[in-house]
Amino acid sequence: MKVPLSWLGEYVAVDHPEKVAEQFSAGGFAATVESRHTLPQSVVVGKVLKIEPHPNADRLRIALVDIGKGRRWKIVCGAANLAVRQYVPVALPGATLPSGAVIKTAEIRGVASRGMICSEAELGIKKASEGIMVLDEAPLATPVARLLGLDEIMLDLEIPPNRPDMLSIIGCARDYAALTDKRFLQPKWKTFVRKPSRSMSVFIQAKDGCTLYSAQKIENINAAPTPQWMQRRLRASGIRPIHAIVDVTNYVMLETGQPLHAFDAEVFPNGRIIVRHARPGEKLLALDGTTYSLPETAVVIASSEKPVAIAGIMGGEETGVKNSTTAVVLEAAVFDPVLTRKTAKALKLQTESSYRFERTVNPVMTQMALDRASALIAEITGGTVLDGGASVGKTGATKRTIRLSLDRARTMLSLSITSSSAAKILKRAGHVIRVNAKTLVVTPPHWRVDIEREEDVLEELARLYGYARLQRTYFTAPARPGHAPMNYQAERMLVDVLVGFGAYETKLHPWYGERLAQDSGLAVSDHVKLANPLSADTGLMRLHLHLNLLRSASLAARANSMVFLLETGRVFRSSKEPAEEDRASFVVVGADAYRRAKGFFQAAVEALGIPQRNLRMETVFHPLGTGEKVLGKEGIGHLIRLSEEELSRWKFRREVAFVELSLPALVAEMKPATFVPFSQYPPVLRDLSFWISPETLFADIVQAFKDVTTVTAYDVFDVFEKDGKRGIALHLTFQAPDRTLSAKEVDAKLQGLTDTLKKRFHATIR
Amino acid sequence: MSFLESVATTRSEAETAIRTAATRAELEALETRFLGRKGTLTRLVRQLSRVSPVDRKAFGKSANEAKHAIRNALALQRAALKMRASSSSFDPTLPGILPVRGRYHPLTLTIRKLADVFQRMGYDIVDGPEIEREDFNFDLLNVPKDHPARDMHDTFYIEGKQGMLLRTHTSPVQLRAMLDGRKSPVRLIVPGRVYRNEATDATHEAALFHCEGLVIDKGVRFTDMLGTLDDVMKALFGEGVATRVRPSYFPFVEPGGELCMKWKGEWLEMMGCGMVHPKVLTNMKLDPTVYSGFAFGMGLDRLTMLLYGLHDIRLLYGGDPRFLEAIRS
């Protein structure tokens, strides 16, 4: 809500702007001071006295302009709409316009010109404009900024949705008075009686959409300009003045919070105003020039012939006031918040009016607003407010009483306050209080729809007392250590270990597009799909972490020879109930990527307390390459090396491997560590090198060795390919728990292994 | 120059020359020059007889010391030259070979920092689904359908699943945790991902991180919230920070507030907070006349940006290693 400080000041005494902003902020409405002053004081009001043709240019003319204080200057001007007796904005030499242009005395085609007559675009009021701006009569030499309200000091207040009363100057002034314990100056506006009359009648057929409809007819209207003071305030509030009557309705809406609408009275030839639901297929050309197909939730205002306005949202183009209008029907109504909201959403049309109806308007205010607007229109246009009006529905507010226990208030706010001082504080905001022993019986004022229960009154008391003045206390609770779920603990350990190994941890977007899914061999139907994604590239919730990680790794690999990216996070699978799982994934790029990734995996799971012996590795083919599947009690994850095709699809130039693991599956394998006695006897080390077919899997060799003898540890220290064969070199460790192995024993074991290699795998020993 | 002075001069002259000698040959020459038969020191000693008997003892002592010192210096320099010759390629000033060092994501560090502070205070860490039921995300938190309060949350909905959405805040976990049968007193936090259907720019992200907090017990007061949250902010940002709470509106709390913290001279909005609304307590199957509590929620991205002086939220989710390297002391 933009509030011109001067307007607020009409209803309550205000402090200096920063202080007012601070006071509103402390009262629950975050406020900032906005100064929109971009026009210098040296752009002033001038009057065109005389116009002469330019001797050297057809399109230019020379205006003699009176800019007050006895100054009559010649200014060269090219605008076609320039005319004698016009009041115009004149930028004096030295003035800097909002565009940055500096005005100078200049010779234009041989004629001296002092200053410039400006257009609205040049003043920064409009983006584009034709011709010079013509002002209403105003004292000469008045700075235009002041005249147009461009120098208004504005407060920008954040109004929460539960405080519709604050969407008005009066509401803001009232709450400001309550917060600062000042006097709210009640406006004294002329009132009119809306007696039922024959000439006008209201029929509310859509009872769910409208609880109150009041109409007021004003006749004998003469076209008249909107007074400058009103234009100033409208402009300052961000509303463009259009037409005196429309301007009045907007002005009164800002002032009272009640949206108003003015119809040309000819719209209702027989005086019948009907509030009804939109009929199927009904359309309306609205004031914004768009033809809207009305949804079934829409409520319309209709004459006996056709709809003339979308209730609470926007009027019809054909039925609004024009310059030729001589009589208007002014509407002030209460439309249903939910239906208004649904219709506005369906039409994608949110207006100042719908915004207020959605948040509920105050029926009491409708009558005040109607009176205020009628009086202003009569005053500006010389019109006559007819005695006859029409009003259907309840204009009173429902009264509620809420009981606040003084003990509760004292405890909750740690405040030793008496019932009378609590009552006094609440009364400032218009609450009517009856003290009944240790209970305050509170009747909130009609404009405070947000106060419904004891807690609301409690907040109101704290708010008016001042949150800042409350003391800080502590609750007592058993000294019990905080608990964290296993997934959280496992994730933390895993990230610690992998970052220790050199991983760069990322947090990526949890979605991607259908194309990436399909290209990666994933079924779109397995994905949780967003109904309203940001874009087509973000429509699917990730089924795995590694896709986006590979994408990031590919970018990172352009600048780094070694890449090791890690992410932990959630993945989603579409099923009857969408399933979620916490995962960890990492991508390794560079030489020996797969073996390094596998090493990180093996070391990491060991660190988590997962014994390798409890895991089973199975070689697998994966849409993105080949690798191994990790199995424990259930599937744990994958280690995959990207195939050649995938490398080129992801634009990698080096070996790439990724690992993706389920955190809950890892957690299920975690075991507490215990001491396992180690051998006190020295190990015997032997090397074993051999040639073997590249098709033979190392896992099969190890399995075969197990059948023959016990090897304490294998260390593969060389693997290479030559002439279609694979050379493997191993450091073998032999150790017994209870004695030193003799050389003879070890030789026998080694012989067993070489025999197995030769017989089972046709290997040659090097 | 007295004899004593001559000895001292010779000694320091010899020591300097020896220390800067670069070859063994040079050292040999120096030995001859100072200690040889016709060496400087030797010649001085020969003049002992010309020294007055009173000074003779002192002269003898200093000459002897000088001889030892020069011998010592020669031996040391010989050893040094030998060492230098044997390890001529060693340069201890070369830079160290760095271990591979990974990097944590700053959000992880923020979450841990926060979680550690709260766990020390006895809060549980609790988790909930990111694909949430609409009623848990909104209705049961006192945000009815078609209420303008829903405008505060632009929501992603799940296709083909009526009433399912990506949670817009971590608050639904409040309900889930309580309906799970947690026993009072309850103290918990919920760090996790939330989603807002907003176009991204330097200050807006569609998938971001929040942390929720909930305290429930008999007799928890509004002022307890003020005390607790002030402590938390001090634990996170240092004892020097000041906090204040101002009235604010969140449908699931009453009285509600916004906690601001003074940071580098400016008051910044850090989190929404308030006493759990009685309707929400009822939805948690708690009796609002018996139990009370407070809840709070904060954006971890914003917190992280503040802690590290980041100006563009998009960097957090860019997956760029350079970003992680740019976070340093």
| Mean pLDDT computed over B38-50 | 82
Assess B278–A contact: CB distance below 8 Å, yes or no: yes
Whether B57 shows a pLDDT value over 70: the answer reads: yes
Whether B289 shows a pLDDT value over 80: the answer reads: yes
pLDDT of residue A229: 87
Q: How far apart are CA B168 and CA B157, in angstroms?
A: 10
Q: How far apart are CA B123 and CA A691, in angstroms?
A: 60
Distance from CA of B253 to the nearest CA of A (A): 9
Say what the alpha-carbon torsion angle B306, B308, B309, B314 is, to the nearest 10 degrees: -90
Partners of residue A361 in chain B, C-beta under 8 Å: none
Could you read off the pLDDT of B139-194 as tens digits, one per residue? 999 998 888 878 778 899 999 988 999 999 999 999 999 999 888 899 999 999 99
Assess B266–A contact: CB distance below 8 Å, yes or no: no
Whether B6 shows a pLDDT value over 90: the answer reads: no
Contact by Cβ (8 Å): A705, A711 = yes
Confidence of residue B60 (pLDDT cuts 50, 70, 90): confident
pLDDT of residue A228: 84
Give burial (CB, 10 Å; 0-12/13-18/19+) of A111. middle
pLDDT of residue B88: 65
Contact by Cβ (8 Å): A30, A195 = no
Bridge partners (DSSP) of residue A684 are A734
Assess A359–B contact: CB distance below 8 Å, yes or no: yes
Using CA atoms, how far residue B228 sits from A37, B175, B224, B302, in Å, is 43, 21, 6, 20
Contact by Cβ (8 Å): A582, A570 = yes
pLDDT of residue A661: 97
Distance from CA of B95 to the nearest CA of A (A): 20
Token reading at A225: 């300009």
* Nearest by CB: A485 against B127, B156, B223: B127
pLDDT of residue A414: 95
Q: How far apart are CA A313 and CA A298, in angstroms?
A: 10
Assess A532–B contact: CB distance below 8 Å, yes or no: yes
pLDDT of residue A47: 93
Q: How many CB atoms lie within 10 A of CB A124?
A: 15
| Mean pLDDT computed over B25-53 | 84
Assess A583–B contact: CB distance below 8 Å, yes or no: no
> Phi/psi class of residue A348: alpha, beta or left (left: φ > 0; alpha: ψ in -120 to 50)?
left
* Interface contact B251-A162, CB threshold 8 A: yes
Type of residue found at A254: L
Query: Among candidates A605, A589, A558, A603, which has minimal Cα distance to A657?
Result: A589
CA A48 to centroid of chain Cα atoms: 50
Q: How far apart are CA B115 and CA B109, in angstroms?
A: 10
pLDDT of residue A464: 97
Question: What are the E-state strand segments in A119-271?
Answer: 153-157, 195-196, 201-204, 210-219, 260-264
Q: How many CB atoms lie within 10 A of CB B31?
A: 17
Assess A109–B contact: CB distance below 8 Å, yes or no: no
Interface of B with A in 160-219 (CB under 8 A): 160-161, 164, 166, 185, 187, 193, 197, 199-200, 206-207, 209, 215, 217, 219
pLDDT of residue A478: 86
Preferred mutation among B100, B105, B132, B214 to probe A, highest tally of A CBs within 10 A: B105
Distance from CA of B192 to the nearest CA of A (A): 10
Assess A32–B contact: CB distance below 8 Å, yes or no: no
Using CA atoms, how far residue A256 sits from A172, A215, A575, B248, in Å, is 10, 17, 52, 23
> What kind and span of H or E run contains B79?
helix B53-86
Contact by Cβ (8 Å): B14, B73 = yes
Assess B147–A contact: CB distance below 8 Å, yes or no: yes
Partners of residue A548 in chain B, C-beta under 8 Å: 319
Give burial (CB, 10 Å; 0-12/13-18/19+) of A731. middle
Could you read off the pLDDT of B82-92 as tens digits, one per residue? 887 776 677 77
**What is the total residue count of chain B?**
329
**With a cut of 50, which residues of chain A have pLDDT below it?**
none
Q: How far apart are CA A69 and CA A67, in angstroms?
A: 7
Tally of CA atoms within 13 A in the half-sphere of A396 that contains its CB: 3
* Residue whose tokens read 């116009």: A51
pLDDT of residue B108: 96
Q: How far apart are CA A616 and CA A632, in angstroms?
A: 6
* Interface contact B246-A555, CB threshold 8 A: no
Q: How far apart are CA A442 and CA A454, in angstroms?
A: 9
Type of residue found at A594: Y
* Interface contact B316-A26, CB threshold 8 A: no
* Interface contact A482-B223, CB threshold 8 A: no
* Residue whose tokens read 């740019």: B326
Report phi then psi at B242, rounded to 5.
-110, 145
| Mean pLDDT computed over B112-121 | 94
* Nearest by CB: A453 against B245, B256, B278: B278
pLDDT of residue A428: 96
| Mean pLDDT computed over B103-129 | 95
Q: What angle do CA B48, B52, B54 make, to 5 degrees?
A: 110
pLDDT of residue A710: 84
Q: How far apart are CA A692 and CA A726, in angstroms?
A: 5
Assess A506–B contact: CB distance below 8 Å, yes or no: yes
pLDDT of residue A36: 61
Preferred mutation among A504, A530, A538 to probe B, highest tally of B CBs within 10 A: A504
Hey, is A763 helix, strand or coil?
coil
**ω into residue B255 within 30 of 0, thus cis?**
yes
Whether B3 shows a pLDDT value over 80: the answer reads: no
Q: How far apart are CA A570 and CA B93, in angstroms?
A: 47
* Nearest by CB: B227 against A472, A485, A498: A472
CA A378 to centroid of chain Cα atoms: 43
* Residue whose tokens read 């699809």: A649
Token reading at A490: 């496992």
* Nearest by CB: A531 against B129, B159, B254: B159
Q: Which residues contact A12 (CB under 8 A, 6 or more apart)?
A: A173, A174, A176, A177, A182, A183, A184, A185
